[in-house]
Amino acid sequence: MLVCVLAVVAAVGLVGLAALVYRLIGRDTDPTESRGVSVGHAGSMLSSLFLLVFAIAVVVPWASADSARQNTYTEGQALVETYWAAAGLPAPDAARVQTELRDYARFVISREWPLMAAGRLGDEGTTRLESLRTAVMNLRPTGEDARAAKGQVLDRMSDLFSARRQRAADAKSTPPAGVLLLTVVTGVVVIVFPFLAGARPRGLALVPLTLMAMLLGVGVYLAQDISRPFSGGLAVRPDAFVGAIDEFQRIPEGR
């Protein structure tokens, strides 16, 4: 914050210094022409600043949503691989583990996904997986194949936990601090700048200015709407988990 304040002070000081030097060496310059050039330059720079901040406010959430979507498919694949590995466990452990995995996938879709719109996952999903992992670790299978299947289930569950932690991080991700606020501030400045510069539009001249203000308002709203990966227009849907449940139907169940 201190750096930002110092940058603003330095910028204002530079403008004051430039104005002073200009007055000392430019006494014969037409003031009206000088004012027009200054206003045009300031308007262009303000518009460029708004576009830059607005681009950041849109591109960063877009990239975050795309990454979060890919991560959900990674988690869904880990869930399927765990289900496959569980099929190799002896009965009735295999059927019990697969049932828990199906219930977990349905829980994520129906109950956990709505929570992620607010940026959190909750504790119940983690508790379910931890209980399942503890149950698998406590198994005492006999035979080389059964022991190998148990190890594979634990390995795949490790991948599942890792993917879940990544989803929790994705749910909390937001644009850099202050970007949305700066977008609003620069948008307002762009709208009111013509009036500050002395323009007094009336009648039909207000139409383009009004349209610009409306479009800027829509743009700021959209930037806020997509600020979280699991809410708004770019919200990531639970398609990966729906696909995993469909995939379960094609995997042999433990007997």
Residues 6 or more apart whose CB falls under 8 angstroms from that of 17 comprise none
Query: Is the CA virtual torsion 82, 88, 93, 98 positive or negative?
Result: positive
Res 18: pLDDT: 43
Q: What would the two tokens of residue 226 be?
A: 């997509």
Task: Tell me the Cα Rg of the chain.
Answer: 29
Task: Give residue-wise pLDDT tens across range 105-115.
Answer: 999 999 999 99
Residue identified by tokens 């503890």 is 134
**Percent of all residues in the chain with a pLDDT value above 70, rounded to a whole number:** 79
The residue among 251, 243, 247 whose CA lies nearest residue 109 is 243
Which DSSP string do the residues of 61-106 spell out, in sequence order? HHHHHHHHHHHHHHHHHHHHHHHHHHTTSPTTHHHHHHHHHHHHHH
Residue 162 has pLDDT above 70, yes or no: yes
Q: What would the two tokens of residue 168 be?
A: 């929790």
Res 3: pLDDT: 39
Rounded to two decimals, what is the model's pTM?
Answer: 0.76
Residues 6 or more apart whose CB falls under 8 angstroms from that of 231 comprise 116, 117, 118, 225
Res 42: pLDDT: 67
Res 201: pLDDT: 64
Q: Helix crossing, 31-86 with 206-225: angle to 10°?
A: 30
Least confident of 25-39, 79-93, 229-243: 25-39
Higher pLDDT, 246 or 30: 246
Query: Is the CA virtual torsion 79, 85, 90, 91 positive or negative?
Result: positive
Task: Give residue-wise pLDDT tens across range 132-159.
Answer: 999 999 988 888 888 999 999 999 999 9
Least confident of 64-68, 148-152, 185-189, 247-251: 185-189
Average pLDDT taken over every residue of the chain: 81
Q: How far from chain centre, in Å, is Cα 161?
A: 21
Give the residue-averaged pLDDT of 66-92.
Answer: 93
Res 1: pLDDT: 45
Task: Give residue-wise pLDDT tens across range 184-233.
Answer: 888 888 777 777 766 666 667 677 777 878 888 888 888 888 888 999 88
**DSSP designation for 254:** P
The total of other beta-carbon atoms located within 10 Å of residue 24's CB is: 8
Residue 160 has pLDDT above 70, yes or no: yes
Res 199: pLDDT: 62
